[in-house]
């Protein structure tokens, strides 16, 4: 098993865009962490340091985008929110294609503690008209999706993770990814587990164990939270009849919230949500935190069994 961090995929994705002279990289002092520094080293003339000034960075990006450039602006996921109103009023409202990357998403971020563990970003950015919101699960998918953003003419928010987790894709499957289309990693008729980010590997582990007890689970990498792949969810409603969502994010408003909104409006079916249950994190290793807060593969198994019982 190869271990990799999705933030490395963001850096590799930027490197995949070096041929596009309209691509500009904006940093707020954390390029070493978000991995935008890979691009900086190759193209310092197209990389601008804005210092520890996230609000300014967002609007500098908007100005560049208004003049035909494709700015990719990154910092920690939690610090993008320092510029939330700038993103809302200066980027999303005029629909300017600024691509924001928030690294270090979720409590899996670990020992830095709760101040650095962004647990509300997917919910926040999902609420903005014109925004695309993504949370890839490994480096190869993050790279492929970052490259695809360069052809988008509307803004986006991509959340990456700090720590290494099992690589899910190979280069061919990653290349087939489409923004807004969930990727079926495993097929099963009993329950549909829809996951994103570091929880995708947990979902696959859970599905393996469930199969040992005769339960067949479908596992989806829902790398795009918005627009939500409603067509896929409708199909899974017919095929599986119940759902589990798994995300390293608050259970309020993120992937679980999005799936719940769609199901309740179309096909009300049992849904169990795995995620951060409306509290802040703490220092600790990422895996320790997922276990402590009820977000392990065993918790996904229990949630799957509950969902199936509720059918």
Partner 1 sequence: MASLVEDNPSNSDSSDMLIETARRCRREIVKMTHRAAAGHPGGSLSAIDILTALYCRRLNIDPQNPDDPERDRFIMSKGHASPGMYAILHESGFISEEDLTSFRKLGGVCQGHVDMKWTPGVDFSAGSLGMGLSFGIGCALAARLDGSDRTTFVMLGDGELQEGQVWEAAIAAVHHEIGNLKVFVDRNRIQNDDFVDKQMRIFDVAAKWDGFGWAVREIDGHDMDEILSAIQWLDSITDGPAVVIAHTVKGKGVSFMENNPKFHGAAPNDEQLAQALEELA
Given the rule CB under 8 A, which residues bind partner 1? 24, 46, 48-51, 53, 55-69, 71, 85-86, 89-90, 93-95
Q: Are 282 and 289 in contact, with CB atoms under 8 Å apart?
A: yes
Neighbours of 65 (CB within 10 A): 24
Q: Are 181 and 221 in contact, with CB atoms under 8 Å apart?
A: no
Quote the crossing angle between the two packed helices 255-266 and 230-240, to the nearest 10°: 70
| Beta-sheet pairing, 217-221 with 183-186 | antiparallel
Question: Is the Cβ of residue 54 or residue 229 nearer to partner 1 in the bound state?
Answer: 54
Question: Which residues have a Cβ under 8 Å from the Cβ of 224 and sit 6 or more positions away?
Answer: 132, 133, 134, 179, 180, 181, 182
Question: Is the Cβ of residue 66 or residue 264 nearer to partner 1 in the bound state?
Answer: 66
Cα 5 to Cα 2, 31, 110, 230, distances in angstroms: 10, 15, 14, 28
Considering the complex, what minimum distance in angstroms separates the CB of residue 189 from partner 1? 47
Considering the complex, what minimum distance in angstroms separates the CB of residue 91 from partner 1? 10
Question: Is the Cβ of residue 86 or residue 250 nearer to partner 1 in the bound state?
Answer: 86
Considering the complex, what minimum distance in angstroms separates the CB of residue 156 from partner 1? 17
Question: Is the Cβ of residue 87 or residue 259 nearer to partner 1 in the bound state?
Answer: 87
Question: Is the Cβ of residue 27 or residue 190 nearer to partner 1 in the bound state?
Answer: 27
Considering the complex, what minimum distance in angstroms separates the CB of residue 75 from partner 1? 13
Quote the crossing angle between the two packed helices 6-15 and 139-149, to the nearest 10°: 40
Considering the complex, what minimum distance in angstroms separates the CB of residue 73 from partner 1? 10
């Amino acid at each position: 098993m190869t271990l990799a961090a999705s933030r490395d995929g963001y850096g590799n994705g930027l490197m995949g865009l070096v041929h596009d002279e309209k691509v500009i990289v904006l940093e707020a002092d954390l390029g070493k962490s978000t991995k935008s520094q890979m691009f900086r080293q190759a193209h310092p003339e197209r990389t601008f340091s804005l210092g520890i000034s996230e609000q300014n960075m967002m609007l500098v990006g908007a100005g560049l985008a208004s003049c035909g450039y494709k700015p990719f602006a990154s910092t920690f996921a939690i610090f993008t929110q320092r510029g939330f109103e700038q993103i809302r009023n200066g980027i999303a409202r005029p629909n300017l294609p600024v691509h924001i990357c928030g690294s270090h998403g979720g409590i899996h971020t670990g020992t830095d503690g709760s101040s650095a563990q962004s647990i509300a970003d997917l919910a926040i950015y999902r609420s903005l008209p014109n925004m695309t919101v993504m949370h890839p699960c490994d480096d190869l998918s993050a790279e492929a999706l970052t490259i695809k953003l360069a052809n988008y003419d509307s803004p986006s928010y991509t959340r990456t993770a700090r720590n290494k987790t099992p690589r899910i894709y190979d280069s061919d499957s990653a290349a087939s990814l489409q923004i807004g289309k969930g990727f079926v990693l495993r097929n099963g008729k009993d329950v549909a587990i829809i996951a994103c980010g570091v929880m995708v590997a947990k979902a696959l582990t859970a599905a393996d164990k469930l199969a040992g007890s005769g339960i067949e689970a479908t596992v989806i990498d829902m790398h795009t939270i918005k627009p939500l792949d409603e067509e896929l969810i409708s199909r899974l409603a017919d095929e599986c009849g119940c759902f589990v969502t798994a995300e390293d994010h608050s259970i309020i408003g993120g992937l679980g919230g999005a799936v719940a909104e769609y199901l309740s409006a179309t096909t009300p079916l049992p849904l169990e949500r795995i995620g951060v249950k409306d509290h802040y994190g703490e220092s600790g290793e990422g895996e320790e935190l997922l276990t402590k807060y009820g977000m392990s593969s065993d918790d996904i198994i229990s949630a799957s069994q509950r969902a199936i019982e509720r059918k």
